[in-house]
Amino acid sequence: MPHSIQLPRPEAVNDNRPGSLAPSHGSALWRLAWQALAAALMARGLGDGTDLVQPCDGEVWQLMDSRPEADGRISCGFRHRFHPAIRDRVFLRVTIRPPPALA
């Protein structure tokens, strides 16, 4: 994981489904979700994990939904409507384990 990650400033979107979460900007869960996105981007060859905005034609990564899983982890869905590496829409779902204080 890079030491200096540029975290974006999009607003979390709550999809309004029962059990859905909307981590507040800058919260521990919000940071964990974006760090997991960085790892997923590197694993898929879609970025180096330091630029999580990845602007392209006005589009950027957005945290679309977060919801609890049965095992205590949290599943977070991200989308980029026009990713610069593939010039197409990308949706990634990552799973995080919240710190004990937040679980």
DSSP string, 14-70: ----TT-B-PPTTSHHHHHHHHHHHHHHHHTTS--SSBS---BTTB--EEEEEEE-T
Cα 82 to chain centroid distance, Å, stands at 16
The pTM of the full predicted model, rounded to 2 decimals, is 0.77
Give 71-83 pLDDT, tens digit per residue: 989 999 999 999 9
If 0-12 CB within 10 Å is exposed, 13-18 middle and 19+ buried, where does residue 37 land?
buried
Give 8-62 pLDDT, tens digit per residue: 554 444 444 445 566 777 788 888 999 999 999 999 999 888 888 888 888 999 9
Give 14-25 pLDDT, tens digit per residue: 444 445 566 777
> Tokens in use for 84?
């610069």
Mean pLDDT throughout 77-97?
94
pLDDT of residue 45: 92
Nearest by Cα to 10 from 28, 21, 24: 24
